[in-house]
Amino acid sequence: MSEIVRVQEIVSKLWNLNIASKKSPNRVTIISNVGYNPSFETNGSFKDFVSRLLARRDSYRIRRFSLKLRSLEFDSAKYHLVNECLRNVLNRGVLDLELDINVNEVYKLPFEVFTCKKVVKLKLGSDFVIDNIPKNALLPALKTLFLDKVRFIDKSGGCAFTRLVSACPVLEDLVIYRNNREDWEWSRIVSSKILKKLTIRREDWEDLDGSSYESISFDTPSLEYFEYFDVLRDGYPVVDLKSLVEAKLELPLFMVGDTYDVKNLIKGLENVQILSLGVVDTMQVFCFFEEAVPVFENLFHLSLSTEVDFCWNVLPILLEKSPNLKTLTIQALHYTTNHYGDENTVCDCLEVYSFLSSCHIEVLKITQFKGDIGEMVQIKHILEKLPSLELLEIHGQVKGDDKKLQIMLDLLMFERASSECKVEVKFPVCFASA
């Protein structure tokens, strides 16, 4: 009898729960993605979009929200609509918020953006100013912060950028894209004990007039990934990258004032495991500051870029300082002349690649290979010198089956210092090995 009573009680509870749910009109509805982009919008103006958003019940939740407003479609009279829209979205528990609004310095983000408790990923752009961070700023769930051409100008004293980063206690990934002419008013210190990924990129290198060359510091002891494309600075007073795993650098060698000093930056890369030096100028920076180049005990993969008539004098330095290097990637194996314009001989600085005889790399990758005579001459020297090479992997950009076949035949004829060495050539539509 008692079992029958218990069954009846369970049925009764389920029935009451069903009745209650039918009476409740405010059940939570989760919307995965909401956004406004005038380039693709077909349901009216931005004002209409905001009206529809505000009309939704409070029980509607938004996971991701994207707002794109360009200058041609946007004017200052609509700024209040933007902030009204943002406050509404933040109240709906948004996790991923992306703003791409091209406005002038008059516009101010609502303070609610800096006190949102749930947002995990925040992208702010482009071309507006953040000049004040509220004292109660706190983004306790934010893990990714993307600043796309946002400028910081602090009118209340202190540093708005520093306060923003400090208000993100679990921030792991910080991305900063900057215009060439935008000079921040900030402490010039990126400081975070928990940050794992940092990307700083300039828009381009065409016009750097008005750019700041003032010193910058990186106090980021937990950083594992560092992507840094910037002008050379007067100095790098603090560089703490002790946990660094991968770094990608592009540093244009502009001789403005000749006051730059990158010794601390180079020394700070000491623990890196994967290092990529884009643009030839970056390699020259390492050459000019050779005394600062540390021994890269942990480095096992090095990637370099080359240009026509570029002197390779930095390559022996980097290889000597990388005793445990296993893989070397060369992006575009442009021939290096002997400084007299003879493309059939190698650069005198390389001493016919004799330094490779003591190099223990096992894998050499060459990309953007065109099969020119200068490239073939260099590959011949490489194969004759590297004693531990196990794989030469060539990614070709060659058209015509006859030329591809000739390249393969030539490679088969080259002597190899390592009896274990295999040569693999990969063309866009086929794969071949020698």
C-alpha closest to that of 363 among 406, 328, 399: 328
Strands 422-427 and 430-433: antiparallel
Region at 246 (left for phi over 0; alpha for psi -120 to 50; beta for the rest): beta
Query: pLDDT > 70: what percent of the chain?
Result: 79
Could you tell me where the beta strands, DSSP code E, fall in 222-369? Answer: 225-229, 239-240, 246-250, 274-277, 301-305, 327-331, 363-369
> Taking the CA atoms of the chain, what radius of gyration do you get in angstroms?
29
Q: Judge whether residue 113 has pLDDT over 90.
A: yes
Say if residue 20's pLDDT is above 80. Answer: no
Residues β-bridged to residue 99: 67, 124
pLDDT at position 102, please? 80
**How far apart (Å, rounded) are the C-alpha atoms in residues 277 and 92?**
44
Average pLDDT of the segment spanning 324-329: 96
The per-residue pLDDT for range 133-155, each reduced to its tens digit, is 999 999 999 999 999 988 888 77
Residues in the chain: 434
Q: Which residue has the tokens 């060698």?
A: 253
Q: Where are the beta strands (DSSP E) in 282-429?
A: 301-305, 327-331, 363-369, 391-396, 422-427
What confidence category does residue 213 fall into, taking pLDDT thresholds of 50, 70 and 90?
Answer: confident
**Whole-number Å distance between alpha carbons of 395 and 401:** 15
Cα 356–Cα 361–Cα 362 angle in degrees, nearest 5: 130
The top-scoring range by mean pLDDT among 126-140, 183-197, 230-244, 335-349 is 230-244
Q: Evaluate whether 182 touches 153 at the Cβ level (below 8 Å).
A: no
Among candidates 304, 359, 365, which has minimal Cα distance to 336?
Answer: 304
Token readout for 372 is 């020119």
339 pLDDT exceeds 50?
no
pLDDT bin (cut points 50, 70, 90) of residue 13 is very low
102-126: burial string, b at 16+ Cβ within 10 Å, e else: bbeeebebeeebbebeebbbbbbbb
Alpha-carbon distance of 80 to 107, in angstroms, equals 9
Instruction: Indicate the DSSP class of residue 204.
Output: -
Tokens 């051409």 belong to 149
The backbone torsions φ and ψ at residue 272, rounded to the nearest 5 degrees and listed phi first, read -65, 145
Q: Output the six-digit token pair for 427.
A: 């063309």
Which residues touch 298 (CB under 8 Å, ≥6 apart)? 271, 272, 273, 324
Q: What is the mean pLDDT of residues 228-237?
A: 90
Residue with tokens 């065409």: 206
Question: Tell me, what's the pLDDT at 347?
Answer: 59
- Residue 267: the pLDDT is 97
Block residue for tokens 């063309």: 427
Coil/strand/helix, residue 375: helix
Q: Which residues, in sequence order, are bridge partners of residue 391? A: 363, 422
Mean pLDDT of 104-121: 90
